[in-house]
Amino acid sequence: TQLLEQSPQFLSIQEGENLTVYCNSSSVFSSLQWYRQEPGEGPVLLVTVVTGGEVKKLKRLTFQFGDARKDSSLHITAAQTGDTGLYLCAGVKGSARQLTFGSGTQLTVLP
Amino acid sequence: DARVTQTPRHKVTEMGQEVTMRCQPILGHNTVFWYRQTMMQGLELLAYFRNRAPLDDSGMPKDRFSAEMPDATLATLKIQPSEPRDSAVYFCASGLVGLAGGPLTYEQYFGPGTRLTVT
């Protein structure tokens, strides 16, 4: 059973368009992370959000943590072909900071 | 440039054979995690260690999977006997947490993965 559901599962857009990916949880986590994974590689951390309502920006990427700390969104402005990849949200919990990953969103940005 | 390394990168084996995957965590990190990634299940946490001690391995089938850390520079994941349903990419990740769990912005660093195919 996936504790973290992501939508959409697949997204194909043209370069220059905007997009939003959603991550919804049935649980409250101490923090939530977003990763990007490219083919043949492991996930790479993009951002960690900790406080309910928090908004973080990373160039053209905007991350938001819901007030109840159970949902999050990733918004990309003016997508580029280099943004293509698998985007994963992950809930952080426990003394070892173990991760529970979402189902993933495969983004393809077409030139 | 510190990074997590995993060997082998690819492994093809027949059902019933033993498979051993190895991971070298980043020097100085005190937590090590094993994950499995498939199209159907996504990324699943199998087991993790803190200061080489196993904390939780409830995510993996106990009858055939085993995870160990013989020393601080080596973590192993063994499958015996392997089955076709074990085909997946297996990732190792390492990180650093303090005694109280560490900062909430703690990061895990992932290796490149071992792609396992069991025929």
| Interface touch A30/B105, C-beta < 8 Å | no
Instruction: Tell me the pLDDT tens digit for each residue of B76-110.
Output: 999 999 999 999 999 999 998 776 656 666 789 99
> How crowded is residue A2: how many other Cβ atoms within 10 Å of its Cβ?
14
For the cut 90, the answer to whether the pLDDT of residue A56 exceeds it is: yes
Checking if the pLDDT of B75 tops 90, the result is yes
Amino acid, single-letter form, for residue B94 = S
d(CA B119, CA B113): 19
The answer to whether the beta carbons of residues A16 and A69 sit under 8 Å apart is no
Q: What is the pLDDT of residues A74-94, one digit of tens each?
A: 999 999 999 999 999 999 887
Residue window 18-57, chain B: list those with CB within 8 Å of chain A. Answer: 31, 33, 35, 42-45, 48, 50, 55-56
Q: Is the pLDDT score of A25 beyond 60? A: yes
A interface toward B at CB cutoff 8 Å? Answer: 2, 30-31, 33, 40-45, 48, 50, 88, 92, 94-104
Mean pLDDT over each residue of chain A, to the nearest integer: 93
CA distance A47 to A79: 18
d(CA A45, CA A42): 10
Q: How far apart are CA B113 and CA B111, in angstroms?
A: 6
Taking the C-alpha atoms of residue A76 and residue B103, their distance in angstroms, rounded to an integer, is 27
B33: helix, strand or coil:
strand
Interface test mutation site (partner B, options A99, A103, A105, A106, max chain B beta carbons within 10 A): A99
What count of residues does chain B have?
A: 119
User: What pLDDT sits at residue A37?
Assistant: 97
Tell me how far apart the alpha carbons of residues B29 and A77 are, in angstroms, rounded to a whole number: 35
Give pLDDT tens digits for B26-68.
999 989 999 999 998 899 999 999 888 888 888 888 899 999 9
Q: Give A18 to chain B, closest Cα distance, Å.
A: 25
With a cut of 90, say whether residue A46 has pLDDT above it: yes
DSSP B62: T
Report CA torsion sign: A79, A86, B50, A30. Answer: positive
Q: Do B42 and A101 touch (CB under 8 A)?
A: yes
- Closest residue, chain B, to A51 (C-alpha): B104
Residues in chain A: 111
Are A95 and B50 a contacting pair at CB < 8 A? yes
